Structure 1
Amino acid sequence: MKTLLFLTAFFCSYISFCQPDIQKAEPLHWYIGMEDPTFQLMLYGKDIADSKVQINDEGVSLKRKITTENENYIFLYLEISKNRKEGPVNITFTKEGKTTEIDYPLYKKEKHQNINPISASDVMYLLMPDRFADGDPQTNNIKGYLEKSNRKNPGGKHGGDIQGVIDHLDYLEELGITTVWLNPVQENNMESYSYHGYSITDYYHIDKRLGSNKLYKEFVKKSHDKGLKVIMDLIFNHIGSNHYWMKDLPTEDWIHQWPEFTQTNYTGSVVSDPYASDFDYKKMVDGWFVKTMPDLNQDNELLSDYLIQTSLWWIEYAKIDGIRMDTYPYPDKEMMANWVERVKEEYPGFFIVGETWLNNASFESYWSRKPNANEGEYNSKLPSISDFPICFAIQNAFKPEGSVYSIYEVMAKDFIYTDPFMHKIFVDNHDMDRIYHVLDKDFDKFKLSLSVLLTTRGIPQILYGTEILMDGHGDHGVLREDFPGGWEGDEVNVFADKNVTENQKKSLEFMKDILNWRKNSEAIAKGSLKHYIPENEIYFYERKSENDKVIVIINNNNSEQNLNLKRFKESIKPGEEAQNILSGEKTNIGKNIILKPNQALILDF
């Protein structure tokens, strides 16, 4: 007699069992027509390892059955014929005369003709769903989840969700951004600090307090309908300590284990250091990020296959346009390069950016792709890295006593990169004090910093709330403060223009002007960059394409400056006419330009 066991509500209509021994099957389903027709199916259930496995399907064959020292896991490597029709594959497990059947779902891989490449024409908007908007208060406290919502706790859950993002896509579209990057949305069922998403406890399910797999897919679709692209945040380096693996590890070496808790040294330069000690290297890549984040061992082939498949699954399932990979230098670097290559094999043109938190260009360049790498030279194959040197240079340029030469000097090192125009550039992010605070709440300096960010080379990223001068700093829970207006009853509501200060309105107008102009600027999207050595705290650079030219002049002085243009004649000539994109005024170029104090002049020719 058969009894049905549904693994999850997500695919209960597709998969059933004759007896309740198999508790999990991951991925939740797979796809016919992948470039690599073989995939790994991980099955978890009590004492299932020594079961005899039979595939009852002419279009699917069992290539390998792998068991480990843990008798509760089986890893099946199945090969799917490209001609097989859509529909479940029947798999039987026989042990001691008893049989369990699985009808495992298979779907056709869709032709991703509409994958939207992310490039220098884009601007990313990074937001933490828990802190942006509460679109569905009923999901704030879900049975079975350990942490409940409490907006009074800076480090706690605040109740924002995916529905809240969907509800305000119009705001993002009107602001002028092109790409939405959400911090991790997969399940983070931890006792505390589960709001940020970086302690994943289930790779295949959206955290129910944020929504559902179906809602996330709807969010991507609605974003695409508005012309917005979507980046998913993933973590291969570590998991949350409440992940089910931690209660019953598939193998002893699934995570990096130490005689006592050992934390990483957070020194990414060790990985590229030709003189690094084994001790320092091991501590960097094998040490745990924090006590609640067990460090995964990507050298384990079964685990590396599992992780790679999670990204392919989400790309195909949700139709995302890019992935931001957290803590990129910490996992096994060869596995990560293989992952990039595998994603590119299935989805040419797909965007991947790695978080490469290193403080100078030479260390950063190690992680940028090298199409012509020499034999033995490491090639990450990453399309994009996170350009921290540019971030710090812009911050330092506009601090009190700062100098724009810091920007020039960092940009002059771009010769060590393959394609710096594909770098993700930013002035702050969710792990750093907000730029408005860093610049001592000087609105003029703030505008200078954003003007550079949005007109120099690279793909800009803006942290949610930057456009309204949010100034959180110090504790992460504080700098990741709630977006005003995202919760019913908020005293300030940016979405409804309620109690918004005059400076916030000016900032919003300033950001909208640059962002919406930028979307249609060929010089910014495809143009070259030429800059001149700053003199007297004036930084002059040109962006130029075949049909377009933009000149940016940054006056980092608290006084008016009369700039003689003779030195810049290869970029700008008397008699040319341009439009000031911030004022809308037409400008006829003469021999000199008068620059107002702390002015960013952006001229579109």
Structure 2
Amino acid sequence: MKNIISLFILMTFAFGIGQVQRVEPPYWWTGMKNSELQLLVHGNQISELQPEFSPNITIKKIENTENPNYLFITVDTKSVQPGTIKIKFKKGRRTISSVDYQFLERREGSADRKGFDSSDVIYLLMPDRFANGDTSNDSHPKTIEMADRSQQGGRHGGDIQGIIDHLDYIDELGATTLWSTPLTLDNEKTYSYHGYACSDLYQMDPRYGSNEDFSRLTEALHQRGMKHIMDYVPNHWGLNNWLIQDLPAQDWLHYWEGGENGFKRSNYIQTTQLDPNASKYDAKGCMDGWFDYTMPDMNESNPMVINYLVQNTIWWIESANLDGMRVDTYPYNDKVGITEWVTRVMEEYPNLNIVGEVFMHETAHIAFWQKDSKIGAIQGFNSNLPSVMDFPLHDIFPQVFNQSEQNWGDGLFKVYDHLTQDFLYPNINNLLIMMGNHDVNRINQAFDGDVNKYKLAITLLATLRGIPQIYYGDEIGMLGEKSKGDGDIRRDFPGGWPGDPQNAFLESGRTDGQKAYFDYTKKLLNWRKTKSVIHKGKTLHFSPMDNVYVYFRYFPENPNDAVMVVLNNSLKDQQIDLARFAEGIQNHQSGTDVITGQNVGLDKSLEIKAKSSLVLDLN
């Protein structure tokens, strides 16, 4: 890697000495809580020059690294007014180059922006596979990989405009929040569509659109009363990232001697971050190992790296007016460094929400990473991460509804047993819950396309504690098998491309089977929007009998506002004696079926069909 740095130093002599090529962040704002700003300046031999601001700004620190093409200037912006400031780079009295730097005025109330929460339903999509709204940007002269829809792992041409064009569809479904997998530039030679090997942290991929298009997406969501989550990847960048290609210093990434370009693959043992018995060898192998050859692992114990990431995150929140962040591969980050990152971002936006991908399979391991965890406290650790993903719940979704017989521990008892561990979480309402995403088998594949199993699953997802997330296309029964390649679980949404033979975005374009999925989901999610007892209420559940699970969502201080959920996962119609559930039913004589609108009596017994669910609004 040192040879790479030396090579780029030599190459820069082709350009004028001291000519500024980049300043990051590209612009900033006045009125930030933290008035300290560190500017990264990149240019040929720029470290030899002295910066000067006009009008004057207090320079707190100037730092050089081993690569003379970088200059880091820390300034105090407290007294800066909105407008343009000139930065001159001088050698003695002579100005070698200069740039204009802009400070913007923050949006009113920006610091108090409210993030996503349990009143929301998140719609996760992969932009390359969702909809192609602008065919002119399918390929781009400044990127390597060209569009080829015939390739399962290639770029298919979906983009930001395609998402904007179909926000009404997502809104109609009842989802309130959009999470798109990364849209920033990924300029790898192949498989660049997934976006997790970022080549420029300040630039949208031109095959998706521009930075302005990304902001338009937020605006279009906000006009509909919806929210926007950005997928953020601090742990690793792309091998073609311009900063990787011309490293400020070798210690910006985890460089392994003897590996090609410093590469050594992670051992992926995430438990080493919290295991009191873990060897340092194993912990380093997870945290410092590269996620893949094209994804160099960033060194977040380097304060410059963390500062770069903090400022980049804040820059996107401000510039694109975001409502939250989803953070990729959270436990692979340096534990101390990523805690500083999330702490500093949340200090700037106390009401924002950030959810970390903790792809682990034991509740205690997940709970360790949520803010104020008592499990973390045992080790003197507090992540300050507001939200985590309930992957143990995700793991049992495809099992539960394929188990029609309730042997001990099978079927719906798995859900009951899982919820008994909720005491491990400091904030159960701020868990992201899901039955599928872009990395695993599609849920309908697990159910062999059985719509009744899907209805049971989506009912459970929509009525449990936490923040439900659904994966694009599940709501119309899309299939996909991981063993056939990632492209199979990331299929194009039908109707997203000009000339598609079917358009499932439209009611008239859906098959009868797709309508069964969509209509049920739509009814359930739109009902959920206004049910605060689902968003914030407590759970009272009864151990399943004959694979029938009954639970209530309720407010202790307001027993009149309650919801009763009945899931019959067996292959037979069942008559349920309601006397057992008097603790939840209390004085309610009936409830409204939220799907049919019919009134259902709660006198002595309740009939429920095989492989079906019943959600009763007892208010």
| TM-score class, shorter | over 0.9
Matched with 1:318 is: 320
Equivalent residues in 2 for 1:80-229 (5 A)? 80-81=77-78, 83-95=79-91, 97-112=94-109, 115-229=113-227
Equivalent residues in 2 for 1:142-541 (5 A)? 142-258=140-256, 259-260=258-259, 261-370=263-372, 374=377, 377-400=380-403, 402-474=410-482, 475-497=485-507, 499-541=509-551
Supply the distance in 1 between the matched residues of 2:365 and 2:438 (Cα, whole angstroms): 22
Supply the distance in 2 between the matched residues of 1:62 and 1:371 (Cα, whole angstroms): 39
The residue identity in structure 1 corresponding to 2:66 is: E
Supply the distance in 2 between the matched residues of 1:499 and 1:167 (Cα, whole angstroms): 16
SS in structure 2 of the partner of residue 49 of structure 1:
helix
Supply the distance in 1 between the matched residues of 2:588 and 2:386 (Cα, whole angstroms): 41
Aligned-pair CA distance for 1:394:
2.4
Deviations 1:386-436 (CA, angstroms, capped at 9, x unpaired):
110111122221124551111111110011110111100000101010000
Aligned-pair CA distance for 1:69:
0.8
The residue identity in structure 1 corresponding to 2:252 is: W
Aligned-pair CA distance for 1:172:
0.9
SS in structure 1 of the partner of residue 175 of structure 2:
coil
Deviations 1:479-503 (CA, angstroms, capped at 9, x unpaired):
1000000001111211234552211
1:560 aligns with 2:583: no
Supply the distance in 2 between the matched residues of 1:419 and 1:122 (Cα, whole angstroms): 16
SS in structure 2 of the partner of residue 279 of structure 1:
helix
Correspondent of 2:553 among 537, 543, 561: 543
Answer with 84-93 or 581-590: which moved more. 84-93
Aligned-pair CA distance for 1:201:
0.3
Contact 1:574–1:591 (8 Å) recurs in 2: no
Aligned-pair CA distance for 1:552:
0.3
Matched with 1:11 is: none
Deviations 1:100-131 (CA, angstroms, capped at 9, x unpaired):
22221111222336723311111000011110
SS in structure 1 of the partner of residue 585 of structure 2:
coil
Aligned-pair CA distance for 1:20:
6.9
Correspondent of 1:587 among 580, 600, 604: 600
Contact 1:491–1:499 (8 Å) recurs in 2: no
The residue identity in structure 2 corresponding to 1:285 is: M
Supply the distance in 2 between the matched residues of 1:507 and 1:55 (Cα, whole angstroms): 60
Aligned-pair CA distance for 1:441:
1.9
Structure 1 unaligned residues grouped into runs of 5+:
1-16
- Root-mean-square deviation over aligned CA pairs: 1.7
The residue identity in structure 1 corresponding to 2:391 is: F
Aligned-pair CA distance for 1:74:
0.5
Aligned-pair CA distance for 1:89:
2.0
Deviations 1:195-248 (CA, angstroms, capped at 9, x unpaired):
011110000011111010111101101110001100000000000111112221
Supply the distance in 2 between the matched residues of 1:527 and 1:232 (Cα, whole angstroms): 28
Percent identity among equivalent residues? 39
The residue identity in structure 2 corresponding to 1:104 is: Y
Supply the distance in 1 between the matched residues of 2:490 and 2:280 (Cα, whole angstroms): 37
1:33 aligns with 2:25: no
Contact 1:492–1:498 (8 Å) recurs in 2: no
Answer with 131-140 or 331-340: which moved more. 331-340
Aligned-pair CA distance for 1:18:
11
Supply the distance in 2 between the matched residues of 1:65 and 1:551 (Cα, whole angstroms): 62
Matched with 1:5 is: none
Supply the distance in 1 between the matched residues of 2:545 and 2:20 (Cα, whole angstroms): 70
Aligned-pair CA distance for 1:288:
0.4
Contact 1:43–1:75 (8 Å) recurs in 2: yes
SS in structure 2 of the partner of residue 548 of structure 1:
strand
Contact 1:288–1:294 (8 Å) recurs in 2: yes
Contact 2:20–2:98 (8 Å) recurs in 1: no
The residue identity in structure 1 corresponding to 2:149 is: R
Correspondent of 1:61 among 19, 35, 58: 58
Deviations 1:321-367 (CA, angstroms, capped at 9, x unpaired):
00000000011111111122111211121010000000010111110
Supply the distance in 2 between the matched residues of 1:435 and 1:270 (Cα, whole angstroms): 30
The residue identity in structure 2 corresponding to 1:71 is: P
Contact 2:17–2:45 (8 Å) recurs in 1: no
SS in structure 2 of the partner of residue 266 of structure 1:
coil
The residue identity in structure 2 corresponding to 1:200 is: C
SS in structure 1 of the partner of residue 545 of structure 2:
coil
Supply the distance in 1 between the matched residues of 2:366 and 2:50 (Cα, whole angstroms): 49
SS in structure 2 of the partner of residue 396 of structure 1:
helix
The residue identity in structure 2 corresponding to 1:146 is: I
Matched with 1:12 is: none
The residue identity in structure 1 corresponding to 2:487 is: G
SS in structure 2 of the partner of residue 142 of structure 1:
coil
Supply the distance in 1 between the matched residues of 2:322 and 2:95 (Cα, whole angstroms): 42
SS in structure 2 of the partner of residue 448 of structure 1:
helix
Supply the distance in 2 between the matched residues of 1:213 and 1:499 (Cα, whole angstroms): 32
Contact 1:18–1:100 (8 Å) recurs in 2: no
Supply the distance in 2 between the matched residues of 1:575 and 1:230 (Cα, whole angstroms): 39
Supply the distance in 1 between the matched residues of 2:403 and 2:548 (Cα, whole angstroms): 15
The residue identity in structure 2 corresponding to 1:95 is: K
Deviations 1:562-598 (CA, angstroms, capped at 9, x unpaired):
1111111110147612100111111121111011001
Deviations 1:290-341 (CA, angstroms, capped at 9, x unpaired):
1000100011111110011111001111111000000000111111111221
Supply the distance in 1 between the matched residues of 2:561 and 2:117 (Cα, whole angstroms): 18
Supply the distance in 1 between the matched residues of 2:344 and 2:190 (Cα, whole angstroms): 35
Supply the distance in 1 between the matched residues of 2:255 and 2:402 (Cα, whole angstroms): 44
The residue identity in structure 1 corresponding to 2:99 is: I
Supply the distance in 2 between the matched residues of 1:295 and 1:18 (Cα, whole angstroms): 32
Supply the distance in 2 between the matched residues of 1:117 and 1:51 (Cα, whole angstroms): 42
The residue identity in structure 2 corresponding to 1:437 is: Q
* C-alpha spacing 1:576/1:296, structure 2 compared with 1 (3 Å): same
Count of aligned pairs: 587
Supply the distance in 2 between the matched residues of 1:115 and 1:77 (Cα, whole angstroms): 27
Deviations 1:242-291 (CA, angstroms, capped at 9, x unpaired):
11122211001111111213111112111110000111000000000010
Supply the distance in 1 between the matched residues of 2:50 and 2:441 (Cα, whole angstroms): 56
The residue identity in structure 1 corresponding to 2:314 is: L
Correspondent of 1:74 among 50, 71, 76: 71
Deviations 1:488-533 (CA, angstroms, capped at 9, x unpaired):
1111211234552211111111001001000011211221111111
The residue identity in structure 1 corresponding to 2:82 is: E
Answer with 486-495 or 106-115: which moved more. 106-115
Supply the distance in 2 between the matched residues of 1:211 and 1:597 (Cα, whole angstroms): 48
Supply the distance in 1 between the matched residues of 2:372 and 2:338 (Cα, whole angstroms): 14
Contact 1:574–1:589 (8 Å) recurs in 2: no
Contact 1:575–1:588 (8 Å) recurs in 2: no
SS in structure 1 of the partner of residue 194 of structure 2:
coil
Deviations 1:152-208 (CA, angstroms, capped at 9, x unpaired):
101010000000010111111111100000111111111111101111000001111
Aligned-pair CA distance for 1:90:
2.0
Contact 1:575–1:590 (8 Å) recurs in 2: no
